[in-house]
Structure 1
């Protein structure tokens, strides 16, 4: 075989190898890992794209994307509370993209996109509350709390878990909700008193109610749909919406500015906004309200129309300056006390 034929054969083999290699997508998922894995499996089953997925809480995801700002290793960030997504948009870390699916989305999902300059979009929604272990409360004779004020009951000492707002979008939503509900100084006074009843500040937002389901703690402050998920699995968890009013999340999705695989990111982005995809979420234990108007909401999902929701200011509390200031104050006033 001549050198020319050998070179030509090598070129053909290389071309075939390149053509056979599947496209890739580097995904951060900030929802429950079961939901993340279900989305990846379904997407890979219907697309010739390999997904490299890492599960991180919202705050951790934002920190990773910010750290990679000059050399992005992530293509797409799906799920988690909207505030850090909005902060990433304000920081120029995420890319503008107007999906052709926008016309199918709920007004609150489109509003999230408009607020961010189309650098993020709403994918689901859910209200903040808590879940408590009925058996533990009955055994210890604790009166179930119906209001934020009730969580300060001395009888709940050591029975409450909530996440750290630095790592968890759920906990940051709680912090921002209380500030909007009470006023900043009053909210931090409340949180310092609540600290006396908190046994642990977890990294993940849904971890507190999972601990309550296992009987490791009495109550977890979480998004209500996470408490519903535990109740639907058969655990003795009761779900509560605070009587004074509560905040809510717009779980969001963002493409990363300078991503290595932007075309693949757009394919996943449009696919996951579809009604068919969003309708399968309950099969993975997800009970949020879907953002696609044509998707079927889970029957067990909390009915937001029956919950007293505050007028949560996503633009302000998703802004970099406000969010950073609140987290710094939490570290000084609450987080510091928790480690003493």
Structure 2
């Protein structure tokens, strides 16, 4: 009897192990390239779990700046390692032009996204709308009695000498936006950046304490009293304020620059049907409402509703900013971007 029970127990255990193995084998993994930090936390903690549960799938984030993610997708173009990627709009235009994205499938969710939030005939779509403007260290401004900034040219004000933190225009959308707005003020266009390159070093450049590759160091530099003023988005300002960091957003009189984060399904990925399903979910009002509540994201889906009056007030304010925000000519920018990056690194950050 004992031997029989042992055999029976072993058989039951083997069946259970086989069943578990079968279930494990059925579970799939999707890799999503996106910004790390708050953006990654927002999606891994608040947005992806519902999709994972409903589809028996694990969503894993590959963190990095838009430039990092684009480089990874390009390097693996023939055998993609990611399934979906989030990129700043300008970088997304480059990805589409390089053949890295496949057209988003028609879906009720995509149908809810306004036409101005869809890129290149539906190859990608915005999931987080916003703009680059100015932010400032409110504690420092209050202590020194400085008024809030009102213009991009405030970055060149002599009183901020050694207190301007500027994201690299060769690596960061924030830095590029600020440089191109400076260029416009100097009489240039996206097709002619000579005024910007000629005048930057002797104006804004004289005030820059440090050129940083992304905005990750901004919080630290505000807290140590090193940073007074810098390009940033209202979303990032709201996130920093929630952490107790004394920053405020200021809308430049010349206009902020439209900055949306768009998503695309990576062409020739190993899980195209599931990747398209995830992309559709991320455009839904449900997903974007969660991202708004948890991470201060600004939805592209107009059906995503704010859950509190405070969130609605912030959404209304940003919508007001968007009415005067500047849209850059990304076809012109991307055609010359490598050349600009080289000039920037040699002339400005050397």
> In which range does the TM-score fall when normalised by the shorter chain?
0.7 to 0.9
Aligned match of 2:31 in 19, 22, 26?
26
1:61 aligns to 2:69 (yes or no):
yes
Whole-Å separation in 1 of the counterparts to 2:48 and 2:226: 31
Q: 1:1-340 residue pairs with structure 2 within 5 A?
A: 17-21=21-25, 22-30=27-35, 32-38=39-45, 39-78=47-86, 80-100=87-107, 101-110=109-118, 112=119, 115=120, 117-180=121-184, 182=186, 183=188, 184-192=193-201, 193-205=203-215, 207-208=217-218, 211-212=221-222, 215-286=225-296, 288-296=297-305, 298-299=311-312, 300-301=314-315, 302-306=317-321, 308-317=324-333, 319=334, 321-336=335-350
- Offset at 1:206? 5.5
Gaps of 5+ in 1: 1-9
Question: Structure 1 stretch 259-268 or stretch 165-174: which is displaced more?
Answer: 165-174
The normalised TM-score by structure 1 is: 0.83
Question: How many residues are matched?
Answer: 319
Contact 2:40 2:61 in 1 (8 A): no
Gaps of 5+ in 2: 1-13
Question: Structure 1 stretch 131-140 or stretch 148-157: which is displaced more?
Answer: 131-140
Whole-Å separation in 2 of the counterparts to 1:35 and 1:120: 21
Over alpha carbons, which structure has the higher Rg? 2
Whole-Å separation in 2 of the counterparts to 1:235 and 1:162: 18
- Offset at 1:261? 2.1
User: In structure 1, the residue corresponding to 2:101 is in which secondary structure?
Assistant: coil
The normalised TM-score by structure 2 is: 0.81
Whole-Å separation in 2 of the counterparts to 1:178 and 1:43: 42
Contact 1:121 1:253 in 2 (8 A): yes
Contact 1:123 1:291 in 2 (8 A): yes
- Offset at 1:235? 3.2
Whole-Å separation in 2 of the counterparts to 1:160 and 1:71: 42
Whole-Å separation in 2 of the counterparts to 1:264 and 1:26: 11
Contact 2:128 2:300 in 1 (8 A): yes
Change in 2 beyond 3 A, CA 1:208/1:232 = same
RMSD: 2.7
Contact 2:152 2:178 in 1 (8 A): no
Question: Structure 1 stretch 245-254 or stretch 202-211: which is displaced more?
Answer: 202-211
Change in 2 beyond 3 A, CA 1:77/1:13 = same
Contact 2:134 2:152 in 1 (8 A): no
Partner of 2:4: none
User: In structure 1, the residue corresponding to 2:230 is in which secondary structure?
Assistant: strand
Whole-Å separation in 1 of the counterparts to 2:348 and 2:156: 15
- Offset at 1:25? 0.1
